[in-house]
Amino acid sequence: MTSSIKDVAKHAQVSISTVSHVVNGTRFVGAQATERVQMAIKELSYVPSSVARSLKSQNTHTLGMLVPNCSNPYFSEIMRSIEERCFELGYNLILCNTYDRPERQTKYLQILMEKRVDGLILITASKPDQWRLPAKLKMPVVLVDREVNNHYCDLVETAHEHGTKLATQHLLDLGHRHIACMAGPKGLSPSDQRIKGWQAALQQASLHSSVLVHGDFTSQGGYETMLELLAAWQNHQQAKPSAVVICNDLMAIGALCAVHEQGLQVPRDLSIVGFDDIELSRFTNPPLTTVRQPKQAMGIHAVEMLVERIKGKRSATQTLLLTPELCVRGSTAKLMAD
């Protein structure tokens, strides 16, 4: 049986309020009474109820986090940063994996509200036209990476459009003029913004947009989409680009595998640039040139912005746009003359 505060009070021969003051440090208690209470807590293995505390203080020191897929290294690296900053600030973190399903996301939101979390960090599982945060969600919310049409949420994300402009300009500087783009799902804000960056860089170079295809931000999706592209090029259904901007590293890793399976070499036959700079990107063959997202900074800022709102230090919403950088490795090279 779990010991209660009443058991501690009886064992220490003090009142329940005295035990509460010792545990919470809310009022001075004499040395002898404090010693008896602390000894009773130790002997009875008493653990204060966080639920009872939260009912009194209206604060659980617990945050909720929803992610589309924790097996995606990009999200895992952001989660690691968020969990570490929560720990440093004295907050617990409840993690919910939505598997990119809006109905699962809605269910987890209800659960987190029932758990009385103080605030929410959300990487949405849905496109803006498929799902909205419910109006009854009376807690601070910070969106990470993906935008949702809500006026009361803070937002932390990378400048996605600038990132693919960097990637495309890098390929242009290497002499490539036929540059394809493998984007993520249609209607998802990071994917749409990254397409705009690729298109803007080509337009600035007075070039028309080349081949645009969509994957699903997974390695399998990148593998299958690249095989389809290679088949179309080999059958002369499309002009063969000399380079591809791929809008996340997982798809780029799958694409590298597909290229190698077809007997081609990267970057000799095809230059490839990814997006995210997950840890695995350094260990592909060849190592992947990619756009580095400041994932650690994203996580830290998300937690700090949320805690600001929880503590009432800020009421106005805030958007923080972080700057990506190009990380050049072995998957890109100068265009070789035919």
Q: Which is more confidently placed, 315 or 191?
A: 191
| Sequence-distant (≥ 6) Cβ neighbours of residue 320 within 8 angstroms | 154, 155, 156, 157, 301, 305
Q: Give the integer Cα–Cα distance in Å for 198 and 201.
A: 5
pTM, two decimals, is 0.82
> What single DSSP character describes residue 169?
H
Compute the average pLDDT of residues 280-308: 97
Q: Which is more confidently placed, 256 or 135?
A: 256
Q: Which is more confidently placed, 185 or 236?
A: 185
* Predicted confidence (pLDDT) at residue 338 exceeds the cutoff of 60: no
Lowest pLDDT segment from 93-102, 147-156, 187-196, 274-283: 147-156
- Determine whether 244 is exposed, middle or buried from the number of CB atoms within 10 Å of its CB (0-12, 13-18, 19+): buried
Band (337; pLDDT cuts 50, 70, 90): low
Whether domain 160-292 has CATH 3.40.50.2300 = yes
Per DSSP bridges, beta strands 154-158 and 319-322 are: parallel
Band (297; pLDDT cuts 50, 70, 90): very high
pLDDT digits (tens, 9 = 90+) for 54-76: 545 567 889 999 999 888 999 99
The neighbour count for residue 67, using CB atoms within 10 Å, is: 27
> In CATH terms, are 62-159+295-325 and 160-292 the same topology?
yes
Of the candidates 194, 333, 196, 177, the one whose C-alpha atom is nearest the C-alpha of residue 267 is: 333
Band (92; pLDDT cuts 50, 70, 90): very high
Which range of 224-233, 236-245, 253-262 scores highest in mean pLDDT? It is 253-262
Per DSSP bridges, beta strands 325-327 and 179-183 are: unpaired
Of the candidates 282, 279, 308, 284, the one whose C-alpha atom is nearest the C-alpha of residue 295 is: 279
Lowest pLDDT segment from 52-56, 232-236, 288-292: 52-56
pLDDT digits (tens, 9 = 90+) for 262-284: 999 999 999 999 999 999 999 99
Average pLDDT over the chain reads 90
Compute the average pLDDT of residues 182-205: 94
Q: Give the integer Cα–Cα distance in Å for 45 and 67.
A: 36
* Predicted confidence (pLDDT) at residue 130 exceeds the cutoff of 70: no
Show the tokens assigned to 319.
Answer: 């958007």
Counting residues of the chain whose pLDDT is more than 90, the rounded percentage is 66
Topology, domain 62-159+295-325:
Rossmann fold (3.40.50)
Structural domain spans, the chain: 5-48, 62-159+295-325, 160-292
Band (135; pLDDT cuts 50, 70, 90): low
Band (313; pLDDT cuts 50, 70, 90): very high
pLDDT digits (tens, 9 = 90+) for 111-127: 998 888 999 999 987 66
> Which residue matches tokens 């809310």?
26
The answer to whether the beta carbons of residues 37 and 19 sit under 8 Å apart is: yes
Query: Residue 206: what pLDDT?
Result: 94
Query: Residue 136: what pLDDT?
Result: 65
* Predicted confidence (pLDDT) at residue 14 exceeds the cutoff of 80: yes
